[in-house]
Structure 1
């Protein structure tokens, strides 16, 4: 059994290139910058025990390469899924569309029940 140890949300955008991949990468980076996991240094657990589940939402999910997004994840065994969401904001004056992506980054460890002793 796994236990979720953290969930962080992030937002990223590409204002001029309509690059969904760039917006998604930035959303993941934003979520990761909001977190730290000192549990590994404190307990000696290996990072490889952690499963990282990333969910990215953009208006055109087929324009995302989930495998490429894995490379930006610094630790754990990563899985990336993509769904429809996010936001496209057209600018009628320029014809450009700003792309907004959202991401949720979740980290899971095998159950630690009974392994910790409070002193």
Structure 2
């Protein structure tokens, strides 16, 4: 059955003092999750555990993110985590530290029969 993307949420997170890319990524995921309400699933009687959750994390050093730790931040569905180059590192020469800023995009996909859903244009107002 084909999947349809029903939700896309974005978030940002950081680790100001520790330079921890995984911590920044987890905070970005939590930021995105706090922007999301899944009432659509309840309204249409879909189980949130049936959705595929695709998470893309952007950081300057993708190899320093523990994807399994980030995956554990997701409370519903079947999560997949991909880490790519992105985000931002801001170096503080005075303190000798790097402030890590991560971005996250969370997509929720559900298998939906093609004939089950149809968008209908709203009636013209006059």
TM-score, structure 1 as length reference: 0.92
- Shift, 1:92, TM fit: 1.1
Matching residue of 1:17:
18
Q: Which residue of 1 aligns with 2:29?
A: 28
**How many pairs are equivalent?**
117
Q: Deviations over 1:18-54 (max 9, x none)?
A: 0001000000111111111112221221112200000
CA RMSD of aligned residues (A): 1.4
Shift of 1:6: 0.8
Structure 2 residue aligned with 1:41: 42
Greater Cα radius of gyration, structure 1 or 2: 2
User: How far does residue 112 in structure 1 lie from its aligned partner after superposition?
Assistant: 4.5
Comparing 37-46 with 49-58, greater Cα deviation is found at 37-46
Structure 2, unmatched stretches of 5+, are 119-126
Give the deviation of 1:5 after TM superposition.
0.3
